[in-house]
Structure 1
Amino acid sequence: MSEKAKFRSEAELCATFISQLPEGWTAYPETAGFDILLSRDADGAQVGIEAKLVLNAKVIEQAVPHDNWWHADGEQPDFRAALVPWGCAGGLSGVCGLLGITVIQMASKELYQSWYEGSRRKMRPELPKVGMSTWEERDWRDWCPAKRCTLPDYIPDVTAGASAPVQLSDWKIRAIKLVVLLDRRGYVTRADFKHLQLDPGRWIYSGRWLVHGAVKGQFVRCNETPDFRTQHPVNFEQIAADFEKWSPVQIRADHLATPEHQERML
């Protein structure tokens, strides 16, 4: 198996990898500073992955932790890996081994189908299992983090490995909630910013994403209001569906939009 897999971009490489994940793993694209953050369903163990079309110093630098020693108790994944096409690991794979970075080689569909059925492998090495054997530990170094990376409440509907990645950050989720509330009620107030733990300054002062409404203390849409629905179509609908879980208690009884705002919700 000395052939090389070919992918047009890191995004295609990541998409192929995610599509071939074994059962028991959940992929979070563009999360916690990684192209892909994997979470093992059985125990929550995490693998932080950076992808490149060839194993080079850049991807190794991205995969290693950057925090200084006084941040050693910060959030980190259990395992770290560099994802490259099959046959593109090169001599730097040995350096990665010394650094505790696993090199995952991913086969393309064309390369996989060209192999004899008995020798086919989608990726190597396999992802770490619960209670790894001594042999499996050769491929994966457990970094034993003090705290694992915080996972978003929703799996980001973004492209992993994109050249200009869009992230579903915690701030973005809270901002989407504000826009959902704005669409349902027609306006938001400072109390809504406080409830969602958002700084109103970015919205009504420096950013001017909202403007004053007809009633004092109310803020409404304008041409500069961010279009999070287009940016995150799946996550936007998921967050909107959970309205009763996160919305302010005092407005849940009358959260239905007025007729002039019904069209925006559709």
Structure 2
Amino acid sequence: MAKVKSVFENEAALCAAFIAGLPDDWTAYAETAGFDILLMRHADGAQIGVEAKMTLNAKVLLQAAEGLYASRGNGERAAPDFRAALVPHGAAGVEMKAIARYLGIAVVEVQSQASRDEEEKAFAERYGIGYRRAHRNEKPIFMPELPALAKYDWREEWADHCPAERCKVPDYVPDVAAGASGPSQLSEWKIKAIKICIVLERRGFVTPADFKHVKIDRKRWLDMRWLTHAEERGRYIPGRSPLNLRAAHPVNYGQVEADFDKWKPAEPEAFKPMAALL
């Protein structure tokens, strides 16, 4: 039977289908550490850096391999254990797959729902409805499967690059679409900036002590006119162009806000309720 090529609208749709089919023991961090997707295995923290393209070409292999050899020897830097190029099912040529293997990059092919339905229909017509149901339940949405802990058969497809240090992942799973054009990344700086915005919303002003507590520089906030000086010395209020991170990261903003009691700065003495000062 002929191989059915999967069709996705764009790379974001390809990434979404892949993430939806991930095993429960992996978490996907979209647009993290320079990759379209950074996967992390819960059991041991092993990571896979994933770059997505609509076809397997030299560009996606270069992206997936970026920094691979810079992570070895002197000047080692954080890197994932494994590297992968993510493409639609049927979009990987034999020659490019061979090059990927030489580079130690796994080629993961994702099958769209439309192609799965078409393939299952063909199986049903040939073998009967019972085979179709079994095929639907057993066949994974992407191949090869991710490397499993304490198993070694994955070594045929996955090369462990053994970095000295793994990539740092954010405290919250980014609420952004992987593979989207011009993505908004949830960086460590942005999480700190969200905290400043939350304090500003709740109190109406922020202080130099708040920036010190959150460990973020306030100079950029003033230069960009996100904040301006209040009449009272040592306080900043919203500026001409306030930063709106709630709109950019609605889910993450709510998560950081829910954790307010865990990270909140101390209130300025003059701002504390009178009962607290007695």
- Common topology (TM > 0.5): yes
- Preserved contact between residue 189 and residue 218 of structure 1 (Cα < 8 Å): yes
Identify the range of structure 1 (123-132 vs 214-223) with the bigger mean alpha-carbon deviation: 214-223
1:155 aligns with 2:173: yes
| Deviation digits for residues 35-90 of structure 1 (CA, Å, limit 9, x no counterpart) | 00111111111111000000111111100032635665311111100000000011
2:162 corresponds to: 144
* Higher Rg: 2
- Preserved contact between residue 156 and residue 167 of structure 1 (Cα < 8 Å): yes
Identify the range of structure 1 (64-73 vs 157-166) with the bigger mean alpha-carbon deviation: 64-73
| Deviation digits for residues 114-160 of structure 1 (CA, Å, limit 9, x no counterpart) | 22335544111001100232x32010000111111111000000010
In structure 1, the gaps of 5 or more residues are: 257-266
Paired residues, number? 253
2:150 corresponds to: 131
Secondary structure of 1:88 counterpart: coil
Identify the range of structure 1 (90-99 vs 118-127) with the bigger mean alpha-carbon deviation: 118-127
Q: Distance in 2 between matches of 1:241 and 1:251?
A: 22
What is the aligned-residue identity percentage? Answer: 47
Aligned to 1:226, which of 243, 249, 263? 243
Q: Report the RMSD for the aligned CA atoms in angstroms.
A: 1.9
1:214 corresponds to: 231
Aligned to 1:110, which of 114, 135, 151? 114
- Preserved contact between residue 184 and residue 255 of structure 1 (Cα < 8 Å): no
Secondary structure of 2:199 counterpart: helix
- Preserved contact between residue 112 and residue 121 of structure 1 (Cα < 8 Å): no
Amino acid at match of 2:59: K
Q: Distance in 2 between matches of 1:95 and 1:70?
A: 24
- TM-score (norm: length of structure 1): 0.90
In structure 2, the gaps of 5 or more residues are: 124-131, 274-278
For 1:160-175, list aligned pairs within 5 A.
Answer: 160-175=178-193
TM-fit CA distance, 1:28: 0.6
- Preserved contact between residue 185 and residue 255 of structure 1 (Cα < 8 Å): no
TM-fit CA distance, 1:214: 2.5
Secondary structure of 1:249 counterpart: coil
- TM-score (norm: length of structure 2): 0.86
For 1:228-247, list aligned pairs within 5 A.
Answer: 228-247=245-264
1:75 corresponds to: 78
TM-fit CA distance, 1:226: 1.0
Q: Distance in 2 between matches of 1:210 and 1:70?
A: 44
- Preserved contact between residue 52 and residue 179 of structure 2 (Cα < 8 Å): yes
Q: Distance in 1 between matches of 2:249 and 2:110?
A: 28
CA gap of 1:255–1:241, structure 2 versus 1, over 3 A, is farther
| Deviation digits for residues 169-188 of structure 1 (CA, Å, limit 9, x no counterpart) | 00000000000001111100
1:26 aligns with 2:30: no
Secondary structure of 1:114 counterpart: helix
1:13 corresponds to: 14
- Preserved contact between residue 146 and residue 154 of structure 2 (Cα < 8 Å): no
Secondary structure of 1:238 counterpart: helix
